Amino acid sequence: MKMLVRAHPQDVLSFLLRETRYVSDMTNEQIIRSVEADFLCNAVRNNQKIVVHVEFQRSRDANMNRRMWEYNIATTYLTKLPVCSFAIYLWKDKSIVEPPFVLRLVDGNVIHIFYYEAIFLWEVPSERLQQKGLEGLLPLLPLTQGAKKARDRIVNDMIEGLRAAGKEDILALGYAFAGRVYTTEADRKWLTRRFAMFEDFLEESWSYQEMVQKGVDQGIEIGKKQGLERALNALRPTFVSIVEARFPELTALAQQQGERFTVPELLSDVIDKLLKAQTAEQARQILMQLDQVPDTPHPDA
């Protein structure tokens, strides 16, 4: 979601607040770096300077409304501007805390009431994201209302809409979100086939490369902090997913070979080689070369 909003912030603002013009990202500006918000930006609405604050939630958080209030208050204080806050929930969960946030004394007297907008993507009609000017949000179509009942059509609409808008650079994000809906083995095969024709473009797009690199970096970072096995467990799914997406006939071999790695950095190097492989035969040779290399000993051995 952070990658999506960074790629097309104006589309996100047009979805959240009509007649609002994006000015600049301020998520990591020094003045508000202490506020760990998902997205903050300067904007103009009705000739008034404002800040738009967005949090992306994939599961319920019992403290969500208080966290939204704290971020809003801190950002308002630091920027001296009115802050409009939104919480976007990606998929349905139980007992989601909804606005407003009310702070009371023990005797019931109200100290603060804070309103923000909670948006549940599964309640948003798919037609809304297909409106002109919101093309940057098309990767979210598989998560919208009724998408599960018409998944294939929704995925096709997403792909064709992004191509028509010249936003193929975020096709990989659409592929990732669709993976949340296509969960069975047969579903995954259909989805893989549907995106296979865009394989070369996906691999060259910044969104795909950033997602892969993020998976690699997270695995190595986990290894530094919590141990090699945790790092390998984080990297192996990325390794297998890359092979499955690019060379599905080699998936079983990748799963088998992935278990042989004992050093995260070595697995990361193999992932880099697989990303550069042009054919299934080249990928097979990379995977089979592992049989010619003795298992790397554990650094502590």
Residue 199, Cβ neighbours under 10 Å: how many? 14
Rounded CA gap, 225 and 295, in Å?
23
Pairing of strands 48-57, 83-89: parallel
Answer yes or no: are the C-beta atoms of 196 and 188 closer than 8 Å.
Answer: no
Domain positions in the chain are 2-123, 132-195, 206-292
Report whether 138 contacts 165 (CB < 8 A): yes
Q: Estimate the crossing angle of helix 280-288 against helix 264-276, to 10 degrees.
A: 160
What is the separation of C-alpha 137 from the centre of its chain, rounded to a whole number of angstroms? 12
Residue 69's pLDDT is 93
Look at residue 295 in the predicted model and tell me its pLDDT: 46
**What is the spatial distance between Cα 41 and Cα 29, in angstroms, rounded to a whole number?**
10
46-50 long-range Cβ contacts below 8 angstroms, 24+ apart: 46/19, 48/82, 49/81, 50/20, 50/81, 50/82, 50/83, 50/84
- Residue 300's pLDDT is 43
Residue-level pLDDT at 15: 94
Please tell me the distance from the alpha carbon of residue 215 to that of residue 229, in angstroms, as a whole number.
15
Output the CA angle 233-239-244, nearest 5 degrees. Answer: 125
pLDDT in tens, the chain (301 residues): 888 888 899 999 999 998 999 999 988 776 776 778 889 999 999 999 999 999 998 777 788 899 999 999 999 999 999 999 999 998 888 778 889 999 999 999 999 999 999 999 999 999 999 999 999 999 999 999 887 778 888 888 988 998 898 888 888 888 888 887 777 778 778 877 777 666 655 555 555 566 556 655 555 555 555 556 666 777 788 788 788 777 888 888 888 888 877 777 788 788 878 877 778 888 888 888 776 544 444 444 4
